[in-house]
Amino acid sequence: AQSVSQHNHHVILSEAASLELGCNYSYGGTVNLFWYVQYPGQHLQLLLKYFSGDPLVKGIKGFEAEFIKSKFSFNLRKPSVQWSDTAEYFCAVTSKGSYIPTFGRGTSLIVHP
Amino acid sequence: KAGVTQTPRYLIKTRGQQVTLSCSPISGHRSVSWYQQTPGQGLQFLFEYFSETQRNKGNFPGRFSGRQFSNSRSEMNVSTLELGDSALYLCASIGASGGPSEQFFGPGTRLTVL
């Protein structure tokens, strides 16, 4: 069974700091990759996704992620965080032919103004 | 299009009771998945329904069950509630595009078991 690891469980940053959240997965075949975000009191929503093509994908609100196949990684980045980025972030992976993603345990990000 | 809706939003039950949660997917979406979200555990997959049939199932005990109706609305039932069942239960739907797609999540039902 595939698994998804998010190495940072809690991250605390000041506004304007750079962000990188790690995500590694265990599946060796073709994968689809996602980052979801859950703002306080809101529903889970898609931040960005990778299906194929350019391994550097850009999402909403200035977020981007890079798929590195050799490292089984899909790290999320943002050059300058804002207080409004305070949220929980989930990495998710589906294997080819599956509609059911495996989620990481999530990273809680707190950004101090 | 209206998003995924879940009712009720909050529930308080006592141990041993049963509970039914409801989910209405985005119009036209035929796949509905259920997840249990708890702090530190992330999202644990419960089951997925497609065209009224359970297509995928996670590793939860038989106390957790679900069904889907012909209009794609889905219900999830938990019988003989335990304290550990306290969680946010999320429903998600996927469109039938035939290719990879993200899931669209509802706001969740917060279940507290006392």
Please state the rounded mean pLDDT for residues A60-65.
96
pLDDT at B11 over 90: yes
Mutation target vs B (from A27, A30, A51, A100; most B CBs, 10 A cutoff): A100
How would DSSP label each residue in A71-91? Answer: GTEEEEEESS--GGG-EEEEE
Which letter, b or e, does each residue of B7-21 get, where b requires 16 or more Cβ atoms within 10 Å of its Cβ? eeeebebeeeeebeb
Mean pLDDT of all residues in A5-34: 94
Does B59 lie at the interface with A, CB-CB under 8 angstroms?
no
- Around Cβ B92, how many Cβ atoms within 10 Å? 27
Interface test with A, best of B103, B104, B109, B110 (most A CBs within 10 A): B103
Check pLDDT > 70 for residue B97: no
Residues of chain B with C-beta less than 8 angstroms from the C-beta of A59: none
Tokens 């080819």 map to which residue? A96
Distance (Å, whole) CA A107 – CA A87: 8
Distance CA B23, CA B34 (A): 9
* Cis preceding linkage at B39, omega within 30: no
